[in-house]
């Protein structure tokens, strides 16, 4: 009896989607399934070495090792074994397969109209500043589509009344695809208030990327407001527009106060398995490191009690058959002079030792400690250098800490300025190909994105005051070029007032 009721409920749910949408959804699911299988097969093939053309792809992964060691010329280093290849197979079922979703479009069917009304209500509540007539116009436009996540089976069991109603929609993204130009513009994105902080925003975007590949879409482009830029950055969007402007210019509407952002959709990436993909890559890299590393294959005896670098020098001299050592344990060679224990301190002035080790031109306790560490057997063989050890000293760490703290403070100021409504004219450089006379008035153009790049580069700004100088120059440039009655001049005036507030303690 219960099985019959469950079968009937499923049939009603499929009927509510409409036969055409059901067929489209099944085709999309089968296409995705075949694509997932193709990706899995390709990954396993690359992991096993692949063909001659794909052999470079299987090892083209960034690796950072604390103690670099030259790779031995061995068969295991050139081709990973079967155990490594197996890590590329997904070991668990795709969690996205349980998510109920559908593509909604104004096809005139009653069930589609119900869901379109649900989308209109969802976007109106989630985007209160957006005009409702504008939302209605785009949602019901036949050229726009929406990918919606529906209530789960568990939610329907708890509340069966929402099935087939406009309250069934958990979240959705409305977009318009320009197939001839191979890009799509995202118009709206929202998740129901009751379903916030559950990861539906990320799931929506990942499902949309997977669906976009089936439509031939290569890029997503959107104008994000100040509250949405953070979300889009997490989903792979960037302010750097790599798509040729000729492909979207004139097709999408420009919005004042919005930030144009872009995302490239890679056709070979399974966006619904990103965590598993990263885990497989990490395991593969660690296995390759173990293959080429010597650190776990060469074991040195423990240092004896009372070991000193001078004593090590005496042991090395005896091992080399040179018994001529002074009282401090350093070898005496013809024409070389005596290198006493104090030579560690003298050598920190710079130069090169007889073994070829380069000593930086510095004199400090940190250098002496680094030299003592380099005398430990196995340190040089493991790939450590004086530069590596000096970078780990307290003084170097303090300098890095101060530099990173300043960088963090400056980036925070940039973010605060960008988040203001009047900051939109200053976010990107002025396009001098369109504003041809701009450089005739403004001799030193500057903008927020340029400042952001300078901060991230490292040592451009030495203090907050240096950043304040560039900020004020940006304000003065805007006032110098634009008329006092223009909206740009008004934005510059508001920004100047805001800068006085955030830099008052600088």
Between CA 96 and CA 94 the distance in angstroms is 5
Between CA 137 and CA 336 the distance in angstroms is 88
Beta bridge partners of 261: 222
The answer to whether the CB of 152 falls within 8 A of the CB of 206 is: no
Q: Strands, DSSP E only, in 26-168?
A: 101-104, 145-150
**Which of 163, 168, 185, 262 is the catalytic position?**
185
| Angle ∠(287,292,298) on CA atoms, nearest 5 | 110
Report pTM. Answer: 0.49
User: Per-residue confidence of the chain (506 residues) as pLDDT tens digits?
Assistant: 444 444 455 445 444 444 444 444 344 444 444 443 443 444 333 333 333 333 333 333 333 223 333 333 333 333 333 343 344 555 667 778 788 889 999 998 998 999 999 999 999 998 888 899 999 999 999 999 999 998 877 777 777 777 767 678 889 999 999 999 999 999 999 998 888 888 889 999 999 999 999 999 999 999 988 788 889 999 999 988 898 888 888 888 777 778 899 999 999 888 988 888 888 889 899 988 888 877 667 788 888 888 877 666 556 555 555 444 443 344 434 333 333 344 444 444 444 444 444 444 444 666 777 888 888 888 887 778 888 777 766 666 777 788 888 899 999 999 999 988 899 999 999 998 888 999 999 999 999 999 999 998 877 898 999 999 999 999 999 999 999 999 999 999 999 999 998 888 65
Between CA 219 and CA 177 the distance in angstroms is 10
Q: What is the pLDDT of residue 105?
A: 92
Please name which of 92, 94, 96, 280 lies closest in space to residue 199, comparing C-alpha atoms.
Answer: 96
Between CA 357 and CA 386 the distance in angstroms is 8
Measure CA of the first residue to CA of the last residue in the chain; give whole Å. Answer: 75
| Angle ∠(313,318,321) on CA atoms, nearest 5 | 130
Between CA 147 and CA 203 the distance in angstroms is 11
77 Cβ contact partners less than 8 Å away, ≥ 6 residues apart: 71, 288, 291, 292
Q: What is the pLDDT of residue 505?
A: 67
Report DSSP letters for 200-262, one per residue. HHHHHHHHHHHHHHHTT--EEEEEE-TTTHHHHHHTT-BSS--S-HHHHTTTS---TT-EEEE
Q: What is the pLDDT of residue 89?
A: 58
Question: How far is the CA of 50 from the CAs of 85, 269, 284, 352, 398, in angstroms?
Answer: 11, 18, 15, 46, 47
185 catalytic per annotation: yes
- The count of C-alpha atoms lying within 13 angstroms of the C-alpha of 368, restricted to the half-sphere facing its C-beta, is 11
Q: What is the pLDDT of residue 79?
A: 36
Beta-strand pair 332-333/145-150: unpaired
Q: For residue 147, give both structure tokens.
A: 């990918």
Q: What is the pLDDT of residue 319?
A: 57
Neighbours of 22 (CB within 10 A): 15
Between CA 486 and CA 495 the distance in angstroms is 15
Instruction: Write the burial class of residue 254 (CB in 10 Å: 0-12 exposed, 13-18 middle, 19+ buried).
Output: exposed
Question: How far is the CA of 91 from the CAs of 43, 111, 277, in angstroms?
Answer: 14, 38, 11
Between CA 293 and CA 445 the distance in angstroms is 50
DSSP assigned state of 263: E
Between CA 452 and CA 417 the distance in angstroms is 11
Question: How far is the CA of 311 from the CAs of 204, 215, 303, 376, 432, in angstroms?
Answer: 66, 72, 11, 11, 69
Beta bridge partners of 338: 332
Question: How far is the CA of 491 from the CAs of 147, 257, 437, 440, 476, in angstroms?
Answer: 37, 11, 21, 22, 11
């Amino acid at each position: 009896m219960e099985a019959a009721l469950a079968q009937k409920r499923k049939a009603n749910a499929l009927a509510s989607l409409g036969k055409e949408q059901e067929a489209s959804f099944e085709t999309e699911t089968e296409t995705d399934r075949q694509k997932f299988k193709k990706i899995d097969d390709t990954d396993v093939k690359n992991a096993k070495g692949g063909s001659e053309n794909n052999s470079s792809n299987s090892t083209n992964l960034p690796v950072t090792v604390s103690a670099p060691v030259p790779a031995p010329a061995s068969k295991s280093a050139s081709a990973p074994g079967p155990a490594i290849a197996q890590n590329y197979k997904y070991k668990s079922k795709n969690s996205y397969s349980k998510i109920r979703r559908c593509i909604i479009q104004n096809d005139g069917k009653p069930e589609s109209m119900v869901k379109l009304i649900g989308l209109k209500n969802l976007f109106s509540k989630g985007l209160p500043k957006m005009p409702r007539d504008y939302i209605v116009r785009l949602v019901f436009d036949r050229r726009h589509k929406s990918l919606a996540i529906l209530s789960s089976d568990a939610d329907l069991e708890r509340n069966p009344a929402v099935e087939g109603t406009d309250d069934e929609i958990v979240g959705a993204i409305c977009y318009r695809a320009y197939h001839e130009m191979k890009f799509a513009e995202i118009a709206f994105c929202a998740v129901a208030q009751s379903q916030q902080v559950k990861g539906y925003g990320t799931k929506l975007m990942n499902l949309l990327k997977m669906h976009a590949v089936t439509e031939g879409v290569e890029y997503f482009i959107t104008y994000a407001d100040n509250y949405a830029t953070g979300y889009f950055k997490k989903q792979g969007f960037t302010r750097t527009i790599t798509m040729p402007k000729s492909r979207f210019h004139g097709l999408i509407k420009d919005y004042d106060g919005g930030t144009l952002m872009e995302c490239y959709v890679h056709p070979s990436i399974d966006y619904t398995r990103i965590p598993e993909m990263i885990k497989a890559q990490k395991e593969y890299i660690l296995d390759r490191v173990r293959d080429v590393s010597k650190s776990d294959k060469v074991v040195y005896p423990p240092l004896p009690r009372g070991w000193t670098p001078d004593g090590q020098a005496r042991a090395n001299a005896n091992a080399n058959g040179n018994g001529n050592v002074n009282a401090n344990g350093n070898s005496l060679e013809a024409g070389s002079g005596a290198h006493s224990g104090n030579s560690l301190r003298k050598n920190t002035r710079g130069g090169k030792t007889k073994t070829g080790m380069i000593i930086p031109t510095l004199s400090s306790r940190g250098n002496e400690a680094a030299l003592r560490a380099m005398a430990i057997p196995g340190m040089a063989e493991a790939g450590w250098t004086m530069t590596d050890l000096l970078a780990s000293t307290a003084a170097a760490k303090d300098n890095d800490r101060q530099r990173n703290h300043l960088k963090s403070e400056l980036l925070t100021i940039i973010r605060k300025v960008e988040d203001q409504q009047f900051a939109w004219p200053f976010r990107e450089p002025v396009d001098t190909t369109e504003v041809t006379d701009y450089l005739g008035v403004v001799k030193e153009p500057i903008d927020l994105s340029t400042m952001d790049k300078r901060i991230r580069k490292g040592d451009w700004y030495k203090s907050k005051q240096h950043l304040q100088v560039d900020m004020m120059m940006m304000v003065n440039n805007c006032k110098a070029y634009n008329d006092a009655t223009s909206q740009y001049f008004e934005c510059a005036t508001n920004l100047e007032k805001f800068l006085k507030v955030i830099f008052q303690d600088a």
